[in-house]
Amino acid sequence: MLDVLIIGAGAAGSVVAKKCAKNRDIFGRIHLASRTLAKCEKVQKSCESEITISKLDADNVADTVALINEIKPSLVINMALPYQDLAIMDACLETGVDYMDTANYEPRDLAKFEYSWQWAYQERFKEKGIKAILGCGFDPGVTNIFCAYAQKNLFDEIHYIDIVDCNAGDHGKAFATNFNPEINIREVTQRGKYWENGQWKEIDPLSVSQMVDYPEVGQRKSYLLYHEELESLAENIKGLKRIRFWMTFGDEYIKHLTVLENIGMTRIDEVDHNGTKIIPIEILKTLLPEPSSLSENYEGKTSIGCIIEGIKDGKKRRVMIYNVCDHADCHNEVQAQAVSYTTGVPATTGAIMVAKGIWSGKGVFNVEQLDPDPFLEELAKQGLAWHVKELDANESLEIDKNAAAA
């Protein structure tokens, strides 16, 4: 049985704790730690079986090391903020414990995320005899594994990948984000980027959109963004010619975000307010609803997948591998909305792969470098069914030729 330390008791972290507590044949001790002990206490009361909890500032490596030495887990599941990835990896290195996360590192003072900082740990983790599994959420995570599954089972060559993400749900709020507001807004407002013919191409934020037909949802306007899994998939899917990421946003979300950006509320630098230094986006985060508070009245579905084009047996092939998740079903099971559920369940599934020795090795891995088949089989058992749909091989998502590319 696998003893785990889960760091982070937010919307997705609470799902991981609850799902691990439902799998007592796999997990031994489950310990949840967060900067806010009250969040841990709330999760603890709603778990199906016993978990232990504690308060932790994960920015403090010494404190994390001390907790790891006390709990003695075999795996640390990082569900904290991306700012804390490196500090938690440092603690795992010092204690010789495996590491897993769902989002790659980004600095607090720079709206930029990339894997270079974490890939730099490769040799140190190998020398220590431990592994770090990066990006085991949904996107990144399941989307990466869909691509790996397609490469292994469905195609002889993969040429084009479009990752498409639609949240067609309604939480009833005028403006709210489905995961940490600070991280969400930083992601959406930075310049878009995609990979084509060995080069990265940049566009202005939200300047390129396309209608995408999402299973069980239908046609939705989708915007071209940069998303972290593009970086690793461009490295690990052989023969790839282009990879892009598309996400839906409602008109109200775009309108609110535009106003907030125009008045400076999305800034990540310090400003002076009556002699006190404040960071506007942190104030905005405080004012917006907690993502974990959205689930009770959330209606509708998420529809997320990968449209993959390539060659099979000498012929063109185009498929979509996808999952559809219902917000209300997620709330009924673990009191979470679907965006949190689709992040937390893959992390739990990844931990099960570690527990069973299926995902093994030493060093730093993105999830598409690991065996996709048993993961996807287990993912469906844990609540996220997935499907493969054949598409017209002669169709394609065509980018707006009038969009200005830099």
> What pLDDT band is residue 2 in, cutting at 50, 70 and 90?
very high
3 state SS of 85: helix
3 state SS of 310: strand
Helix 338-355 vs helix 327-334: crossing angle, to nearest 10: 60
**Which pLDDT tens digit goes with each residue over 96-150?**
999 999 999 988 777 678 899 999 999 999 999 999 999 999 999 999 999 999 9
Task: Give the C-alpha separation, 46 to 68, whole Å.
Answer: 24
User: pLDDT at position 302, please?
Assistant: 96
State the DSSP H helix or E strand holding residue 147, giving kind and residue range, or none if neither.
helix 142-149
Q: Are 284 and 109 in contact (CB under 8 A)?
A: no
3 state SS of 259: helix
Show Cβ contacts of residue 377 under 8 Å, excluding neighbours closer than 6 positions: none
User: pLDDT at position 251, please?
Assistant: 73
pLDDT beyond 60 at 401: no
**Which pLDDT tens digit goes with each residue over 330-353?**
999 999 999 999 999 999 999 999
The residue type at 54:
S
Which domains are assigned to the chain? 2-138+335-381 (3.40.50.720), 142-333+387-391 (3.30.360.10)
Residue 176, sorted as left (phi over 0), alpha (psi -120 to 50) or beta, turns out to be beta
User: pLDDT at position 323, please?
Assistant: 98
State the DSSP H helix or E strand holding residue 99, giving kind and residue range, or none if neither.
strand 98-101
Strands 301-312 and 157-167: antiparallel
The pair of structure tokens assigned to 225 is: 């963004």
User: pLDDT at position 206, please?
Assistant: 86
Give me the mean pLDDT over the 281-294 stretch: 77
The pair of structure tokens assigned to 269 is: 């630098």
Question: What is the dihedral angle through the alpha carbons of 174, 211, 169, 292, rounded to the nearest 10 degrees?
Answer: -70
Bridge partners for 206 per DSSP: none
Bridge partners for 31 per DSSP: 5, 52
Task: Give the C-alpha separation, 8 to 33, whole Å.
Answer: 6
pLDDT beyond 50 at 404: no
Question: 3-state DSSP helix/strand/coil percent for the chain, to nearest 5?
Answer: 35, 30, 35
- The angle formed by the CA atoms of residues 251, 255 and 260, to the nearest 5 degrees, is 150
C-alpha gyration radius of the chain: 20
DSSP state of 188: H
393, exposed or middle or buried, with CB in 10 Å at 0-12, 13-18, 19+? middle
Q: Provide the b/e sequence for 290-319 (b: ≥16 CB within 10 Å).
A: ebbebbeebebbbbbbbbbbbeeeeeebbb
Q: Residue 251 CB: number of other CB atoms within 10 A?
A: 8
Give me the mean pLDDT over the 350-364 stretch: 98
Show Cβ contacts of residue 405 under 8 Å, excluding neighbours closer than 6 positions: 201, 202, 203
**Which pLDDT tens digit goes with each residue over 252-277?**
777 777 788 787 887 878 888 888 88
* Cis ω before 372 (30° cut-off from 0): no
Q: Are 224 and 246 in contact (CB under 8 A)?
A: yes
**Of 270, 260, 271, nearest in space to 189 by CA:** 260
Which residue in the block uniquely carries the two structure tokens 């990082």? 78
